[in-house]
Structure 1
């Protein structure tokens, strides 16, 4: 039968992520500026470190939450779970992916409640800042006044464009900023690769469920991240590292970790022996995919080629589905009907 693929539920997911991104965007520019303006110099680094740490640890706890939700059936609460004849180990299992959004959204709503009780104006903490080192807020005010003055003087867009390249040159000439930028590039390259490909790689190569995969990733990374943050704090306090030294400390381990992860390209597993895809139905390496697409045992079954539900045969080969393996009846890997 023909299925209707005109489901528009993805639009709601897209809009939800769009609104979430709008809400998360001010955290870095406004949150850090707020801390810099109203916290004492002794506590500013600690508070900013807490914000940055939560941004790193948050996705790891997200994997643990995803592991829990993946164990639950997608229609939990609306169907009788006793009638579900498959388990999370089955390729057709779909976990309650939507539940994570509700839980995370509820936590975010609770976290926003204290912000409603903040006063309009905070008492500024007296610090040792001199006029030569103005606060973040005063710098914004000076920049706004300067921009207003230049607009009144009739500065054109062309003149602003001429100042762009020298400003970028000065910015990249700042050693602290440049080292921080390089360290961040190495960190996010490693993080994005792990979040995007590692779960699916573990599922495919080691035959693990999505629930167990997410749990393992969170379990492996949480102790490592916690140990790294603690060690960095101890090193900075022990050797009294300044700002430039802290930037070097960021770049060094980030580069070393990135090089270690690059070594993973030299490792890998052999392709699975999938009949009709990587090997022939007789088990020998095939030359053309079209030549071994079907075999004598399934030529008359009219198996759907878009249905990927791999099964293992007694001969050590993996088949597209039970239909391609020549089976007339399949009960899945869950409860037997």
Structure 2
């Protein structure tokens, strides 16, 4: 009885100390890497303002992560499988932490941030040159020549941010290909989809935490702790505001280094999950792996690189899956990247509210979808061909539901002189000549300044001056403008900062849009795990790591390249462009389904590995029983002969 209990405890210890610990460590690594990436993307605006960078340099900084990743991903995916994969992943996490630290370093090496302001710190009122001055004169500077409108970079320390982001991309390289291949090699085939679902859920959690951290740091002034924030004359909603972008990078650096620790204590190889307790099989597996490693060392590390690449390029299902993935990633990235801006412009939400709504309505359904997809694959032991059909029909359902978004569109904001006349008559888009009216012609207002206010009559105006406002009360976001000659309301002629709301009908449309977005996110993630299993099982086991790395390489270099042509998102362009891309992705998907009927996939035998081993054990037991019975019969025969 004592031996039985000891065996049970040994099994539990082995279960907790091997595959499950690696799964937990890898999930934390995915959380940290996506956290760092999401935070970096959310801080690009703050970095742009800090260094006064042009858009081209901001795009170059953002793309430097992909550059660092692309430099190493193919080589790490190939050579990593021949080395100690957990240790390489741990080193990658440390390198990511170093990259995040370098991104934060410029804050401590450069001067404090200074912004232009018409309001003095001593509290004196600013000159009211933004109001209507009928009896005065304003100096309106002529429009500058476009060649003169070039930003002057304040400091070259942005190069440190660029280098740090590149190093972070290099460190992120081994996590996905080596981690996924490690799980595929040593986990039960029926457990693998569930484990991958857990890992992808970790990535989504990292995305949510990164967005929330970015929102938190953006509301803290960049030089908090170095200046008196009570004397600031700007708020986070001001375009001159710079948040504490450096603070989040320090947090990301610490998280990345901490997630690296467990990987340095994990073994290079594990016994196949479920076979840890069979000493004979474990011994045979170790001997076989030792022979394979000796053969690899003898043949050299690079001898089979080109044959593997040739084999993958000749794998029609694998290549079609890459094409399908590139198209869908472009569609998804185009839609998701501009979703907060779309909520701002279409439904009138603030930037912080838009980011919050995107996180709350998208990320929980995606997490649930990944887990449910993995559980379904494990529970019903879905084959590769069945997984391909499940992924196809779920993706098609997601695609068709997307067209309902065209019914959930609000009217444009009513801005006097642009989308509506000063009398409140809807007359389409106006030209510059219609911005001025009889009520503000004598105000000498600049017509190219966008500083919107909302009048008591429910109309928005480009600025307080163009609304004819002559006086103001309060400061900052609490400022109220009075005596506005263009605002015709019963007994009132005042305005407040910001655009007017879009009304109850638009709020209801927003609710419908968010609910549909949640349903679509769940369906999208539910189809992701079966689709990813098709990718893993359509390639040979020895090519798995390189195949995953090559797939990621194509996603990096060919995916996420679609950019909307205009900062002001037209709702039909925003909804129609991803729909067109997604529609074209069903062509390779249908071809894959046809090919799966005729082809025998290399990974189809993977599901029977455990059964084969169990059969092998049963065969050994039966063999032992036969030998015992034969020896018993032989002894009986000898006894009869003697008698």
- In the superposition, the TM-score normalised over structure 1's length comes to 0.72
Q: Which residue does 1:171 correspond to in 2?
A: 315
1:285-318 C-alpha deviation (Å, 9 max, x unpaired): 266412123345265535272x433211223222
Q: Cα distance, 1:91 vs. partner?
A: 6.4
Distance 1:111 1:335 in 2: 48
Q: In 1, Cα distance between the equivalents of 2:441 and 2:160?
A: 41
Out of 78, 103, 122, the residue aligned to residue 268 of structure 2 is 122
Structure 1 residue 43 displacement after superposition: 5.2
Q: How far did 1:199 drift?
A: 0.9
Structure 2: state its 5+ residue gaps.
Answer: 1-115, 117-148, 276-280, 481-643
Q: Which has the larger radius of gyration?
A: 2
Q: Call closer, same or farther: CA 1:257–1:273 in 2, change over 3 Å.
A: same
1:40–1:125: 8 Å Cα contact kept in structure 2?
A: no
Match of 2:454 in 1: 312
1:272 is aligned, of 404, 413, 417, to: 413
User: Which residue does the alignment assign to 2:349?
Assistant: 208
Distance 1:272 1:230, change over 3 A: same
Q: Work out the CA distance in 1 between the residues paired with 2:261 and 2:305.
A: 41
Shift of 1:231: 2.3
Match of 1:155? none
Match of residue 446 from structure 2: 303
Q: Is 1:218 aligned to 2:359, yes or no?
A: yes
Question: Map of 1:278-289 to 2, 5 A cutoff?
Answer: 278-284=419-425, 285=427, 288-289=430-431
Q: Give distance in 1, aligned partners of 2:460 and 2:304.
A: 72
SS of the residue corresponding to residue 333 of structure 1 reads helix
Q: CA–CA distance in 2 between the matches of 1:334 and 1:203? A: 21
Per-residue CA shift, 1:61-105, capped at 9, x if unaligned? Answer: 322223333433444333333334555566665544444333223
Tell me which of 49, 53, 78 is aligned to 2:201: 53
1:213-239 deviations in whole A, cap 9, x for unaligned? 222221112321232123223322332
Question: Does residue 237 of structure 1 match 2:362?
Answer: no
1:87·1:335 contact (CA, 8 Å) conserved in 2?
no
* Residues 281, 295 of structure 1: 8 Å contact kept: yes
Contact 1:71 1:95 in 2 (8 A): yes
DSSP-derived class of the 2:477 partner: coil
- In structure 1, stretches of 5+ residues that fail to align are 152-159
Deviation at 1:209, TM superposition (A): 2.9
The answer on whether the counterparts of 2:220 and 2:243 sit within 8 Å (CA) in structure 1 is yes
| Mapping 1:23-172, distance limit 5 Å | 23-39=171-187, 41=189, 44-84=192-232, 87-88=235-236, 94-115=242-263, 117-118=264-265, 122-126=268-272, 141=296, 148=303, 168=313, 170-172=314-316
Q: Does 1:7 align with 2:130?
A: no
CA-to-aligned-CA distance 1:2-35 (integer Å, 9 cap, x gap): 9963234654443333222222222222222233
Give the Cα–Cα distance (whole angstroms) in 1 for the partners of residues 171 and 304 of structure 2. Answer: 32
The alpha-carbon distance between structure 1 residues 78 and 150, as it changes in their structure 2 partners (threshold 3 A), is closer
User: Which segment is superposed worse, 47-56 or 22-31?
Assistant: 47-56
- Does residue 21 (structure 1) correspond to residue 169 (structure 2)? The answer is yes
The aligned residue for residue 256 of structure 1 is 397
Q: Aligned equivalents of 1:149 and 1:242: distance in 2?
A: 29
Q: In 2, Cα distance between the equivalents of 1:10 and 1:270?
A: 41
Change (3 A) 1:257 1:184: farther
User: Does the CA-based 8 Å contact 2:452-2:463 persist in structure 1?
Assistant: yes
Cα displacement (A) at 1:192: 1.7
Query: In 2, are the aligned partners of 1:309 and 1:321 still within 8 Å (CA)?
Result: yes
Q: 1:335 to 1:98 in 2, by over 3 A?
A: farther
Q: Which has the higher helix share?
A: 2
Aligned equivalent of 1:157: none
Alignment match of 1:290 (pick from 424, 429, 432) = 432
**1:333 paired residue number:** 477
SS in 2 for 1:312: strand
Q: Given that residues 89 and 208 in structure 1 are in contact (C-alpha distance below 8 angstroms), is that contact kept between their aligned partners in structure 2?
A: no
Change (3 A) 1:252 1:302: same
Whether the 8 Å contact between 1:66 and 1:211 is mirrored in structure 2 is: no
On the 8 A contact 2:416/2:462 being kept in 1, the answer is yes
> Do the aligned partners of residues 192 and 205 (structure 1) sit closer, same or farther apart at CA in structure 2, a change above 3 Å counting?
same
State the SS of the aligned residue for 2:315: helix
Rounded to whole Å, the distance in 2 between the matches of 1:146 and 1:66 is 43
